[in-house]
Amino acid sequence: MHYRTHDLDEAIHAVGAVYCPHELHLDRRAKALDTRLSATEARPLALVQLAYGARVEVDAGEFPGLFLFMRCTAGEGTVSQGNRSATWRAGTTIPVSAGRPTRFDFGASFEQITFRPDTATLEACCASLVGRPLDDGLKFDPVPFTPALERSWSGVWDLVDTLPAALPAPAYRSLEQFVLMSLLHGHPHNYTGWMRGERPASRPARLAGLAEALIHDRIADLSLTVSDIASSLGVGVRALQLAFQAHRGMTPTAYLRRIRLAQVRERLLDGADDDTVTDIAFAHGFFHLSRLAQQYKAQFGEAPSDTLRARHRRTA
């Protein structure tokens, strides 16, 4: 399929049919859109080529059920998945994984060629390498390929270009397995530790303990999420949640919040004289003050403002 349009709505419809529903915003300084889309399933691997001919921003939502290995062939662009961002330049490949809030910013000269694997097949390959069903969705780190993997990936493109459009089914499956295994072994993801034999302890108490230690080590990182913790330990989010529930009787999110609330209380009790509740809340990642007040009171039996006033009376 080859398609070209200058119309914004037509571009959204055509690209959405190949990838997923999304919002597309043309940069206000751009004069016109020139979308060129080429997608084929007939070749040995499902490949998509896309360029917009203008700077655009794309909001792809949660990127449902879709994995893309996007190589920039010209220009520059960025992708943000959750709290992670990465930049494309010509010759750079970055994987984009399903199930994460995803935004793209493509420069006017950005062009891409993308491998779009079958999600079920990719995750089945990962499960076979891990030796068990995946208890959480596969998530590749949204960072550029290493130079070594990029060279291997270039070799894959060269190989695909020499192959006939229609391969015998056994040959197609072998090629597909080779490509997917190369990606799973070559680029980090949330099951890399499992594949290397770095099994986390199966006992919930030990897994929860490892997570607690990691939380305390990285508590200053306000962008730290449960997904980050699980990925660092080589387990799925669901496994981590079950371990915490069994060991702590709460979710890892609740535990992380308890630690941050304790830091807020410590600062309210011993901070600078000109500290305000708002200053302290923002410094510890609480940006909804009413929600903070509710959570703080549930944990400590009083409002943050009460704690601060008590400190002022004590030091007056």
78 plus 26 within the same structural domain: yes
116 plus 231 within the same structural domain: no
152 plus 53 within the same structural domain: yes
92 plus 234 within the same structural domain: no
161 plus 113 within the same structural domain: yes
199 has a pLDDT exceeding 60: no
153 plus 57 within the same structural domain: yes
Q: What is the mean pLDDT of residues 202-206?
A: 68
184 has a pLDDT exceeding 60: yes
225 plus 76 within the same structural domain: no
- Structural domains counted in the chain: 3
Q: Which two tokens stand for residue 82?
A: 């959750």
- pTM reported for the whole predicted model: 0.65
Residue that finishes a domain, picked among 193, 208, 226: 193
Contact 287, 279 (CB under 8 A): no
155 plus 69 within the same structural domain: yes
What is the per-residue pLDDT across 258-301, written as a single tens digit (0 to 9) for each? Answer: 999 999 998 898 877 788 999 999 999 898 999 999 999 999 99
Q: Say what the pLDDT of residue 44 is.
A: 59
The torsion defined by the Cα of 219, 221, 226 and 231, in degrees rounded to 10, comes to -110
Residue that finishes a domain, picked among 193, 211, 231: 193
- CATH assignment at residue 300: 1.10.10.60
- CATH assignment at residue 149: 2.60.120.10
Domain that holds residue 281: 254-315
